[in-house]
Amino acid sequence: MRPFTYAKPSQTSDASKSLKQSNSAIIAGGTNLLDLMKLDVNQPAHLIDINKIAELSQIKNNKGGLLVGALVKNSDLAHNKQVLENFPMLSQAILSGASAQVRNMASTAGNLLQRTRCYYFRNSTMPCNKRDPGSGCPAIDGYNRIHAILGTSDSCIATNPSDMAVALMALDAVIHIEGSGAKRSVPITKFYVLPGAHPEKETVLKDGEIITAVEIPQLAAAKHSRYLKIRDRKSFAFALVSVACALDVKNGVIKEARLALGGVGTIPWRCTEAEKILVGKPAKKETFKLAAEAAVKSAVTHKHNKFKVELCKRTIVKALSALENLA
């Protein structure tokens, strides 16, 4: 671990000012950042601890939906009454991740900004375009079993590891941001950026900007929603494939559909084409299979992750089929 300064402001504006210092980083729960500092992957010179900013820890009702403060703990959000009733897939997604101890520390914004679990990224002795731009990507010709099949580039094929982000993608959440005296909101579908030639840039956040809250809009279909995660171990493991889905079905016909994937995309992956296929069709397995085909149509595989295409299709069909009877 390298030396760093530590500040604990009580206002978002002060935190944002401190964040303007070069090589500074926000620390929330620290469950990802401290890991990466110990591995020498991240070497911030200044840590800005935001845990004293009270307004960031609240969950508020908001026009039938929710406004979730950036510091709200993963465990509190997963067990929130309104989340359990109106957005069950969000609760299921959070509870499928990490462990109870980690979820008690982990924050909403920290979860969304956690870094990839690519083995080469986390090994500071290896080249990696994301950690050290221009150094190369050993995963492309290396061991890439856990890597992405959607949204990859010649520079990076790492998956985004967050389960919560997949559910929030399907829910059309909106990220509230503050920095340099200004506030802005970005739909989560536009928040993450594809790796392209610059995998070091993962979101649209600019220098000095802090996530203050995540807005979850009201959505009728979300009451009938599910998160299904497939992984190597039953607990404490990241997704090989995960599916967040919601269906609003009337008289056996799908009126509204939401579908997003985890474990397969370089960003949490929203399947808009597959959603279009679902809407207006009967809620049955044949329809779900067509949607699953569409969801992986643009998949690009590597030596060890070819299995993810079929696994992804089967997981989509299984997750949607579980909703068929609920709707």
Q: Which residues bind ligand FAD (CB under 6 A)?
A: 25-33, 35, 50, 70, 74, 97-98, 102, 105-107, 109-111, 113-114, 161-164, 210-211, 236, 238
Measured from the CB atom, is 147 or 224 closer to ligand SF4?
147
Phi, psi of 188 (to 5 degrees): -60, -25
Answer for which of 15, 28, 37, 128 binds ligand SF4 (CB under 6 A) is 128
Does the footprint of ligand SF4 cover residue 267 (CB under 6 A)?
Answer: no
Cα torsion angle, 104, 81, 189, 276, sign: positive
Does the footprint of ligand SF4 cover residue 138 (CB under 6 A)?
Answer: yes
Measured from the CB atom, is 158 or 316 closer to ligand SF4?
158
Cα separations (Å) of 269 from 97, 127, 245, 324? Answer: 17, 26, 12, 22
Residues between 150 and 169 with contacts to ligand SF4, criterion CB under 6 A: 156-158
Measured from the CB atom, is 91 or 116 closer to ligand SF4?
116
Select the span of 49-57, 112-120, 232-240, 302-310 touching ligand SF4 (CB under 6 A): 112-120
Shortest Cβ 78–ligand FAD spacing (Å):
11
Measured from the CB atom, is 161 or 199 closer to ligand FAD?
161
Does the footprint of ligand SF4 cover residue 149 (CB under 6 A)?
Answer: no
Listed as own residue / partner, the contacts of 297-303 with beta carbons closer than 8 Å and 24 or more positions apart are 297/273, 298/150, 299/149, 299/150, 299/264, 300/149, 300/150, 300/152, 301/149, 302/139, 302/140, 302/144, 302/147, 302/157, 303/141, 303/144
Shortest Cβ 227–ligand FAD spacing (Å):
11
Does the footprint of ligand SF4 cover residue 264 (CB under 6 A)?
Answer: no
- Residues in the site for ligand SF4, rule: CB under 6 A? 116, 118, 120-121, 128-130, 137-139, 156-158, 199
